[in-house]
Amino acid sequence: MKPNGPSFVLSTFMKYLTLLLAPLLAAADYTVPIERYTLPNGMRVVLSQDNAVPVVAVYVIYNVGARSEEKGRTGFAHLFEHMMFEGSANAPKGTQDKIIESNGGQMNGSTHPDYTDYFETLPSNKLASALFLESDRMRSLDISAENLQNQKEAVKQERRLRFDNEPYSTAIVDRWPQIAFHNWQSSHSLIGSFEDLNAASVEDVRRFFKTYYAPNNAVLAIVGDIKIPETKKLIDQYFSDIPQQPPPKRPDLSEPGAKGATEIYKDPLANVPGVIIGYPGPPRRSADFNALYMLDAVFTGGDSSRFQLDLVKGKQSVLQFEANPGWPFAAANDYKAPEMYAMFMLHKPNFNGTQIISQVQDEIAKIQKDGVPQDELQRVRTYVRSTGIMQLQSALGRARLLGQYEVFDNNPGLINTEMQTYMGVTSEQIQAVARKYLVPEKRSVLEIVPAPKPQGGKEGQ
């Protein structure tokens, strides 16, 4: 959650507007219609019909991410995200872009620690086109030496431009996981190394594809202007004959009970200092998880949040911040235990990292001592509810949630019940979770400080 940074007058107005909207939002109950079933080959399907506008979102989520990778083959999940756009047996490279974009649609994919996803949004009368494209690459992705080499270079270039030559990115992507986690599955880089990419063979990639990109390791979520019977026929036509594969072995993600660590990272690209602060989080969907989610909203939810009012405006030490259960690679909705509750503070140079850490811990201590006053908790509930409703406004937003709930929880119905669970979290529960998890002895810290730029620039590999 991030502050939006409007003026103080607008901030005050929004604070009171939020309080005025509270009864309205509390009454605005919603129910997302869901139909869920499984094909004979093991592919799970979640459908949600909404005929308000002639648009449909097709979302495919595979139960594989960076934490499923093997040593010596880091970056495979991300590499495969690229490979999935290299064409397939009946849709050569460029076909997908042409079909989707010529019909006014959009498409993309993304890599996460625990899943990889792909989507298309397009006019609902073109649903069959999206299903054909997704099924064809699930069935017959074009894995050739040429395509693999092309995407190796594309991933390397992406790393150079978006990570190695961006301030804070290398510290966040490469170094922070090594501090936050002790299990290699969680501590290695999501992007991977050049050495591992170079070592990847066509056979390695084919094996990864066969293992993880099987229908029984995927969920298809379709939301929008559909008719359920016709949609089921199309899904059966395009996906039912794709053979399932043996279930992949899941990695052990358990963390040893090690103490937190503190480290300083010198970043020649950074102009102002920053600090990452993290604490091991509770299991997904536990009562502690729900309370931590609401605690994060107390700290970071909007322009009336505590960090915004006390650190940005009050002490004027912090310039901007980000935080989330699962930060920086995951959000609360795709949080899979074990994860961290982590925050990133960019701060003014006249404050040092130790001072910022102390200020953050002071904010935590206030909750640990006094809990959250009821008027503030009501504001936070309203903020959480309103942002949750906004996420549900788009067909793609609903499809993402349904797919993630199915993959991680085997329960897409959480889309209709989880908000009520959050609304039921009490001040005492928030106070208890702050006392249990956000304590200095469990804290990991990475200070990022500006450093002199190397002479002659940075050479890419």
> DSSP letter string over 32-64?
---EEEE-TTS-EEEEEE--SSSEEEEEEEES-
Mean pLDDT of 73-97: 94
Radius of gyration for the chain, computed over Cα atoms and rounded to the nearest angstrom: 23
Mean pLDDT of 312-338: 90
Superfamily covering domain 35-239: Metalloenzyme, LuxS/M16 peptidase-like (3.30.830.10)
Four-way CATH pick for 8-29+259-450: 3.30.830.10, 3.30.70.270, 3.20.20.80, 3.20.20.70: 3.30.830.10
Q: d(Cα 88, Cα 120) in Å, to the nearest integer?
A: 17
Phi-psi region of 437 (alpha: psi -120 to 50; beta: other; left: phi over 0): alpha
Question: Is the pLDDT assigned to residue 459 strictly greater than 90?
Answer: no
Residue 336: per-residue pLDDT: 80
The residue type of 124 is S
The residue type of 458 is K
Question: Is the pLDDT assigned to residue 457 strictly greater than 60?
Answer: no
Terminal C-alpha separation, the chain: 35
| pTM metric for this prediction | 0.90
Question: Is the pLDDT assigned to residue 349 strictly greater than 70?
Answer: yes
Residue 20: per-residue pLDDT: 41
Q: Which residues of 26-62 are buried (b: 16+ CB within 10 A; e: fewer)?
A: eeeeeebebebeebebbbbbbbbbbeeeebbbbbbbb
Q: How confident is the model at residue 454 (pLDDT cuts 50, 70, 90)?
A: confident
Pairing of β 116-123 and β 55-62:
antiparallel
Question: Is the pLDDT assigned to residue 357 strictly greater than 90?
Answer: yes
Residue 456: per-residue pLDDT: 59
Question: Is the pLDDT assigned to residue 26 strictly greater than 60?
Answer: no
Question: Is the pLDDT assigned to residue 13 strictly greater than 70?
Answer: no
Least confident of 19-23, 154-158, 352-356, 395-399: 19-23
Segment 405-414 long-range contacts (CB within 8 Å, at least 24 positions apart): 405/333, 406/36, 406/44, 406/46, 406/61, 406/219, 406/221, 407/61, 407/63, 407/115, 407/219, 408/114, 408/284, 408/334, 408/336, 409/284, 409/285, 412/34, 412/36, 412/46, 412/221, 413/34
Considering only residues 157 and 406, tell me which one the structure prediction assigns the higher pLDDT: 406
Mean of all residue pLDDT scores within the chain: 90
Name the H helices within 345-456: 353-370, 374-391, 395-409, 414-423, 427-437
Q: What angle do CA 179, 167, 443 make, to 5 degrees?
A: 25
Q: How confident is the model at residue 301 (pLDDT cuts 50, 70, 90)?
A: very high
Task: Tell me which residue of 37, 52, 56 sits closest to 398, measured CA to CA.
Answer: 56
The residue type of 364 is I
- Same fold across 8-29+259-450 and 35-239: yes
Q: Do 324 and 296 touch, CB atoms closer than 8 A?
A: yes
Q: How confident is the model at residue 3 (pLDDT cuts 50, 70, 90)?
A: very low
DSSP class per residue in 137-187:
HHHHB---HHHHHHHHHHHHHHHIIIIITSTTHHIIIIIHHHHH-SSHHHH
Question: Is the pLDDT assigned to residue 27 strictly greater than 80?
Answer: no
Sheet with 44-49, side-by-side order of all strands? 35-38, 44-49, 218-224, 55-62, 116-123, 106-111
Residue 233: per-residue pLDDT: 98
Q: d(Cα 115, Cα 390) in Å, to the nearest integer?
A: 23
- Percent of the chain whose predicted confidence (pLDDT) is above 90: 80
Residue 194: per-residue pLDDT: 85
* pLDDT tens per residue across span 318-327: 999 999 999 9
* pLDDT tens per residue across span 106-132: 999 999 999 999 999 999 999 999 999
Look up residue 310 and give its DSSP letter.
Answer: I
Tokens coding 260: 């937190």
Residue 160: per-residue pLDDT: 84
**CA dihedral sign of residues 322, 328, 333, 335:** negative
307 Cβ contact partners less than 8 Å away, ≥ 6 residues apart:
3, 299, 300, 318, 321, 323, 360, 363
Residue 18: per-residue pLDDT: 42
Q: d(Cα 136, Cα 78) in Å, to the nearest integer?
A: 20
Name the H helices within 167-239: 169-170, 176-180, 184-187, 194-199, 202-212, 228-239
* pLDDT tens per residue across span 367-389: 999 999 999 999 999 999 999 99
Q: d(Cα 452, Cα 406) in Å, to the nearest integer?
A: 48
- The residue ranges of every structural domain in the chain are 8-29+259-450, 35-239
Least confident of 48-52, 79-83, 106-110, 427-431: 79-83
The residue type of 452 is P
Mean pLDDT of 288-302: 97
Task: Tell me which residue of 2, 8, 442, 27 sits closest to 255, measured CA to CA.
Answer: 442
Question: Is the pLDDT assigned to residue 16 strictly greater than 70?
Answer: no
Question: Is the pLDDT assigned to residue 316 strictly greater than 80?
Answer: yes
Residue 343: per-residue pLDDT: 97
Q: How confident is the model at residue 257 (pLDDT cuts 50, 70, 90)?
A: confident
Residue 461: per-residue pLDDT: 37
Question: Is the pLDDT assigned to residue 174 strictly greater than 60?
Answer: yes
Least confident of 6-15, 183-192, 329-338, 430-439: 6-15
Tokens coding 50: 């909404």
Mean pLDDT of 247-275: 92
